[in-house]
């Protein structure tokens, strides 16, 4: 194959890719991902025709991998039962940091502001600050998020609800909790006085810091997979040009 023929074929391939990309501009994110995979597949098929090699199969596989990698789990900013509210990006460490802003606020039954707040009002306000919607009262808050098996598994930001569901505290780590105790007291950090036998449930509303790090790693892996597809196209073009030059 002459150099002129190779360059002509490359131009045709690029035109096909541009057409596919242009047609996907007004589609949804999922359609965009599918079009990207189709673009890569079309490129690979055209390249296989030009070179007579098995590159098409490899290109199709890579495109499928990229499409899978870009699919992300559904996220939510509303607390729900048996699920983590991941949409805000907040972690347990963020919960603790925000809750500490309210240290010293007096206890006021039914309160949710710096003028005064009760235990569940404190919890609802902290999560609202972080962009996560939480119910107002303890019995409903006790149903949110995922359950943590015991105190030894608790992470900063988890909610501890004692039996009877008449109170809620925020675990801050190192055996301490932050809460709005009762009339005449203010929001404070104290040693946790609950044992597993006293506890109705421990709830994790947002991911712990470790979980957030894992999610970041997964996102980076997806990005790397997408980049690999582009690298495959570039390598294939170079290979095609080299084979043409040799001819």
195-208: pLDDT as tens digits? 999 999 999 999 98
Distance in angstroms (rounded) separating the CA atoms of residues 120 and 124: 6
Mean pLDDT of the chain: 77
Please tell me the CATH code under which domain 92-206 is placed.
3.90.1720.10
Residue 95: which pLDDT band, with cuts at 50, 70 and 90?
A: very high
- 114-158 pLDDT, tens digit per residue, is 999 999 999 999 999 999 999 999 999 999 999 999 999 999 999
- 218-229 pLDDT, tens digit per residue, is 555 555 555 555
pLDDT reading at 48 higher than 60: no
DSSP states of 6-45: HHHHHHHHHHHHHHHHHHTTTS-HHHHHHHHHHHHHHHHH
Cα distances (Å, whole numbers) of residue 60 to 36, 40, 66, 115: 11, 7, 10, 61
Three-state DSSP at 153 gives: helix
Average pLDDT score over residue span 177-203: 98
Distance in angstroms (rounded) separating the CA atoms of residues 80 and 75: 11
pLDDT, position 119? 98
DSSP states of 155-183: -TT-EEEETTS---EEEEETTEEEE--ST
Catalytic residues: 119, 167, 179
pLDDT, position 18? 72
pLDDT reading at 62 higher than 50: no
């Amino acid at each position: 194959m002459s150099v002129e023929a190779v360059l002509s074929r490359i131009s045709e391939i690029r035109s096909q890719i541009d057409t596919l990309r242009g047609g996907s501009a007004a589609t949804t994110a999922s359609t965009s991902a599918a079009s990207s995979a189709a673009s890569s597949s079309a490129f690979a098929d055209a390249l296989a025709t030009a070179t007579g090699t098995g590159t098409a199969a490899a290109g199709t596989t890579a495109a499928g991998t990229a499409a899978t990698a870009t699919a992300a789990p559904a996220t939510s900013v509303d607390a729900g039962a048996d699920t983590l509210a991941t949409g805000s990006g907040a972690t347990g460490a963020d919960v603790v940091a925000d809750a500490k802003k309210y240290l010293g606020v007096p206890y006021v039954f039914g309160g949710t502001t710096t003028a005064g707040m009760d235990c569940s009002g404190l919890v609802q306000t902290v999560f609202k600050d972080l962009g996560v919607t939480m119910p107002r009262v303890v019995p409903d808050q006790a149903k949110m998020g995922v359950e943590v098996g015991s105190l030894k598994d608790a992470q900063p930001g988890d909610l501890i609800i004692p039996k009877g569901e008449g109170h809620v505290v925020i675990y801050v780590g190192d055996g301490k909790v932050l809460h709005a105790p009762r009339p005449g007291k203010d929001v404070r950090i104290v040693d946790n006085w609950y044992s597993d036998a006293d506890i109705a449930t421990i709830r994790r509303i947002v991911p712990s810091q470790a979980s957030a790090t894992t999610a970041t790693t997964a996102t980076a892996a997806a990005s790397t997979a997408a980049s690999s597809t582009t690298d495959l196209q570039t390598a294939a073009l170079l290979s095609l040009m080299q084979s043409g030059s040799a001819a």
